[in-house]
């Protein structure tokens, strides 16, 4: 053990205290917070969908933090693995290599190729037991830490995926399957203990090594807040996550008959970066997710120049009655032509100001509609105000409103 440096007891010196603590074996990563980058978020990995980015980070331009862990829980077919594949695809596009741990034997090379993933940059690892995964994770952490002397931009980027936590077993359960053993409930208790031990051992080091981790869970009947269901395998994985999401699905039909995919509802059970908000997005059966789906609930004419309604040209407007003209708003499209927009909540069409025309819903989710300018306006005026955690000054303002409301209520009661 390193020898502790003596500290003068005549005058307290915080800098000297900091140096003394840094000299203790195992505490080298500590320092004065101003300069400490141990768990600093250097960048975000996109999820593949803008509204899902917002749910995790408070902005459509965010996603998964590069120093945090995330959990997806849901019934079979709820999109847990699908979200992992999309994350792998997005991570590779910003320079990540992948360690994908499969406990279910549910994926192969073709699965990844279907998502446009470079399989030469994926380490696929079948895994049975909690102990095996713990060894893998700790060896991975030790390897990546060897590059900490390099500038942050030159260090390796590695994404760790565990799909799924629920199917990890214990060595005892494997042995009992051959020799016969005690009741299953005792094995489940052992698994929960081993999972808690696992995540206590790796969570902090994953953050320090800047290795983001995604993990999936199955849901089981229990006393949880999600329709009587909770995650299997104990609370160890939940405690380690910066965000845990419960996923549910409903069928998406085209023309009322053909099934084209599922609509996923994502409900945050735990979140550290933003205000909890439920969101929906589409998982198609025949391709990757559309990154614009989900934004339609946040658009409006005032925010970004997109809304439900009809558009009229000058001639059509001139023929309208004065009362109908009063319902319209004048705008100028990208070609400089004057048009008129009438908001209609029940309209099947959307009017897009910068295109100067109305479109059907199937034409909405495109880059021609959601341009960079539109996305910027949406993020600034709608997404961040609703998803982003408030600044301290905003919290003070909320408190003042609360106090004023309480005082007004008290005055009302006294005057009754």
Phi, psi for residue 95 in degrees, rounded to 5: 95, 15
- Closest Cα partner for 195 from 140, 102, 132? 132
Residues 6 and 53 in one domain: no
Mean per-residue pLDDT of the chain: 85
Residues 15 and 120 in one domain: no
Among candidate residues 252, 270, 289, the one where a domain is terminated: 289
Say whether pLDDT at 380 is over 80. Answer: yes
Q: Which segment of 84-88, 258-262, 328-332, 393-397 scores lowest on mean pLDDT? A: 393-397
Range of the domain at 14: 1-36
Distance CA 153, CA 148 (A): 11
Report in angstroms the alpha-carbon separations of 174 from 179, 181, 189.
9, 10, 15
Say whether pLDDT at 127 is over 90. Answer: yes
Say whether pLDDT at 228 is over 60. Answer: no
- Closest Cα partner for 208 from 91, 99, 100, 68? 68
Residues 6+ apart with CB under 8 A from 31: 18, 22
Among candidate residues 244, 260, 289, the one where a domain is terminated: 289
- What's 74's domain CATH number? 3.40.50.300
Phi, psi for residue 336 in degrees, rounded to 5: 85, 5
Q: What pLDDT sits at residue 222?
A: 57
Asked if residue 398 is part of any domain, the answer here is no
| Torsion of Cα atoms, 142 then 147 then 148 then 150, to 10° | 180
pLDDT-derived band at 403 (thresholds 50, 70, 90) equals low
Residues 60 and 165 in one domain: yes
Asked if residue 32 is part of any domain, the answer here is yes
Calculate mean pLDDT across residues 249-273: 74
Q: Which residue has the higher pLDDT, 7 or 332?
A: 332
For the stretch 130-158, pLDDT in tens is 999 999 999 999 999 999 999 988 999 99
For the stretch 321-374, pLDDT in tens is 988 888 888 887 767 778 888 888 888 899 898 888 889 988 999 999 999 999
Phi, psi for residue 66 in degrees, rounded to 5: -75, 0
Q: Which residue has the higher pLDDT, 184 or 274?
A: 274
Say whether pLDDT at 123 is over 70. Answer: yes
Asked if residue 102 is part of any domain, the answer here is yes
Asked if residue 247 is part of any domain, the answer here is yes
Q: What pLDDT sits at residue 255?
A: 46
Say whether pLDDT at 86 is over 90. Answer: yes
Q: Which residue has the higher pLDDT, 206 or 188?
A: 206
Asked if residue 410 is part of any domain, the answer here is no
Residues 262 and 333 in one domain: no
Domain count, the chain: 3
Q: What pLDDT sits at residue 132?
A: 95
Say whether pLDDT at 292 is over 50. Answer: yes
3-state SS, residue 274: strand
Residues 342 and 208 in one domain: no
Q: What tokens were used for 236?
A: 């160890």
DSSP letter assigned to residue 411: H
- Closest Cα partner for 39 from 159, 203, 197, 165? 203
Distance CA 68, CA 210 (A): 8
Say whether pLDDT at 182 is over 60. Answer: no
Residues 267 and 302 in one domain: no
Residues 142 and 52 in one domain: yes
Q: What tokens were used for 399?
A: 């408190």
pLDDT-derived band at 224 (thresholds 50, 70, 90) equals very low
Distance CA 318, CA 312 (A): 10
Asked if residue 46 is part of any domain, the answer here is yes
Contact 171, 32 (CB under 8 A): no
Calculate mean pLDDT across residues 224-245: 69
pLDDT-derived band at 378 (thresholds 50, 70, 90) equals very high
Calculate mean pLDDT across residues 199-204: 93
Asked if residue 408 is part of any domain, the answer here is no
Asked if residue 185 is part of any domain, the answer here is yes
Q: Which residue has the higher pLDDT, 127 or 313?
A: 127
Percentage above 90 pLDDT, the chain: 50
Residues 263 and 363 in one domain: no
Q: What pLDDT sits at residue 75?
A: 84
- Closest Cα partner for 339 from 301, 305, 313? 313
Q: What pLDDT sits at residue 180?
A: 65
Say whether pLDDT at 4 is over 70. Answer: no
Residues 137 and 26 in one domain: no
Calculate mean pLDDT across residues 397-407: 55
Calculate mean pLDDT across residues 190-205: 90
Contact 58, 389 (CB under 8 A): yes
Phi, psi for residue 234 in degrees, rounded to 5: 85, -175
Residues 29 and 92 in one domain: no
Residues 270 and 317 in one domain: no
Q: What pLDDT sits at residue 28?
A: 86
Q: What pLDDT sits at residue 257?
A: 46
Among candidate residues 239, 259, 289, the one where a domain is terminated: 289
3-state SS, residue 99: strand
Q: What pLDDT sits at residue 246?
A: 93
Distance CA 17, CA 14 (A): 5
Say whether pLDDT at 220 is over 80. Answer: no
- With 0-12 / 13-18 / 19 or more C-beta atoms within 10 angstroms meaning exposed / middle / buried, residue 155 is middle
Calculate mean pLDDT across residues 235-242: 76
Residues 128 and 209 in one domain: yes
């Amino acid at each position: 053990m390193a020898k502790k440096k003596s500290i003068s007891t005549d005058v307290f010196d915080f800098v000297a205290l900091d140096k003394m603590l840094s000299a203790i074996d195992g505490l080298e990563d500590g320092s004065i917070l101003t300069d400490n980058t141990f768990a600093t978020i250097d960048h975000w990995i996109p999820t593949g969908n803008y509204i899902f980015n917002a749910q995790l980070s408070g902005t459509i331009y965010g996603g998964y933090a590069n120093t945090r862990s995330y959990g997806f829980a849901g019934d079979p077919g709820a999109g847990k693995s699908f979200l992992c594949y999309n994350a792998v695809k997005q991570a590779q596009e910003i320079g990540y290599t992948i360690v994908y741990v499969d406990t279910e034997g549910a994926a192969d090379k073709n699965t990844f190729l279907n998502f446009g993933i470079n399989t030469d940059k994926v380490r696929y690892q079948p895994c049975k037991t909690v102990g095996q995964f713990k060894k893998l994770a700790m060896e991975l952490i030790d390897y990546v830490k060897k590059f900490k002397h390099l500038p942050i931009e030159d260090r390796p980027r590695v994404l760790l995926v565990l799909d799924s936590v629920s199917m990890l077993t214990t060595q005892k359960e494997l042995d009992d399957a051959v020799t016969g053993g005690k009741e299953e409930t005792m094995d489940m208790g052992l698994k929960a203990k081993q999972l808690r031990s696992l995540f206590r051992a790796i969570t902090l080091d994953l953050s320090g090594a800047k290795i983001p981790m995604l993990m999936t869970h199955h849901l089981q009947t229990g006393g949880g807040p999600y329709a009587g269901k909770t995650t299997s395998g104990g609370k160890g994985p939940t405690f380690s996550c910066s965000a845990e999401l419960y996923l549910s699905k409903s069928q998406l039909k085209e023309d009322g008959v053909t099934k084209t995919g599922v609509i996923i509802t994502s409900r945050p059970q735990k979140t550290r970066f933003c205000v909890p908000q439920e969101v929906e997005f589409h998982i198609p059966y025949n391709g990757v997710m559309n990154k614009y789906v989900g934004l339609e609930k946040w658009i409006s004419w005032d925010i970004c120049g997109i809304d439900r309604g009809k558009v009229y040209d000058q001639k059509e407007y001139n023929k309208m009655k004065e009362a109908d003209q009063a319902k319209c708003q004048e705008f100028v499209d990208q070609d400089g032509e004057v048009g008129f927009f009438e908001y209609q909540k029940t309209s099947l069409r959307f009017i897009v100001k910068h295109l100067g025309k109305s479109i059907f819903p199937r034409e909405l989710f495109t880059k021609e509609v959601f341009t960079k300018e539109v996305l910027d306006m949406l993020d600034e005026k709608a997404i961040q105000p609703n998803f982003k955690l408030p600044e301290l000054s905003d919290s003070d303002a909320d408190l003042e409103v609360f106090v004023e409301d309480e005082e007004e209520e008290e005055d009302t009661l006294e005057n009754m």
